[in-house]
Structure 1
Amino acid sequence: MRNRIADMRERADAIVARRPSPSGLVIPEVDAMGRMRDLYLAPGTCARFDNRELADEIVIAIAESARDARRQYEIAMNNPDNLPRPLAEIMREWQAGPASDRQPPNFGKAGE
């Protein structure tokens, strides 16, 4: 179970979204939790916009990047390939195996 949780955390930590502002001059980097990790401003961006316009560009780009990161997170966490196999399926396979080789299935317990 700890391994699965660690794998899920690693997948979540790897998610990063970089969506540009409407002008394309501002690009934030946002993680899956919606935290801004970095912000790129193209050369001349501050001179091109007044304070309010620049703030709008930054906020819009951050919001779009956060939406994209959330979408990536939902896709990564709900991917059927990442879900554990149902216990009933594991038991059916175990019971269908030869009786001489039957050992209880290992469900990831430490020390087994």
Structure 2
Amino acid sequence: MRDIHPDVQAALATTRELRHRIAEVRERVDDIFARRPSPSGLVIPEVDAVGRLRDLYLAPGTCSRFGNQELAAEIMAAITESAADARRQYAITMNDTDNLPRPLAEVMRERRAGTSSDEQVPNFGKAEQSI
């Protein structure tokens, strides 16, 4: 069985670390949403961090209370306000210093320091020569 070179092991570990970091950021982004009511309070949309409309609540009687243009204006005002709130939440979440991961250079130094010098360097299947 061949051993994997320490640099390759470090690169694979770094790749795994990056995958985990990306997944963590995606989870944080997926948890961001905003629900801001319209000026009348009868329309409440739910907008995610990307600005997509996830849900829309219309209070009973809202459609009969407003005309087409007024209802559209109410819905758009609520969606615009919710999208702005979601963007603010995104900026706060992504710039939070408590959520910053350790620099990859530091992680790599630790991984390389963890490999002791008494470990045998793999020979990649070459026959050992005796003198």
Residues 38-78 of structure 1 deviation map (CA, whole Å, 9 limit, x = unaligned): 10000010111111110000000000000000111111111
- Following superposition, the deviation at residue 82 of structure 1 comes to 1.1
Match of 1:25 in 2: 42
Q: What is the TM-score when the length of structure 1 is the normalising length? A: 0.77
Instruction: Tell me, yes or no, if structure 1 residue 45 matches structure 2 residue 56.
Output: no
Mapping for residues 9-88 of structure 1, pairs under 5 Å: 9-86=26-103
Match of 1:103 in 2: 114
Equivalent-residue separation in structure 2 for 1:40 and 1:84 (angstroms): 38
**SS of the residue aligned with 2:46?**
strand
Bigger RCO (CA 8 Å, 6+ sep)? 2
Equivalent-residue separation in structure 2 for 1:76 and 1:58 (angstroms): 27
Number of equivalences: 96
Q: Could you tell me the percent identity over the aligned residues?
A: 73
Equivalent-residue separation in structure 2 for 1:11 and 1:87 (angstroms): 20
**SS of the residue aligned with 2:98?**
helix
Provide structure 1 residue ranges, at least 5 long, that are not aligned to the other structure: 95-101, 105-112
Equivalent-residue separation in structure 1 for 2:105 and 2:25 (angstroms): 23
Q: Which has the larger radius of gyration?
A: 2
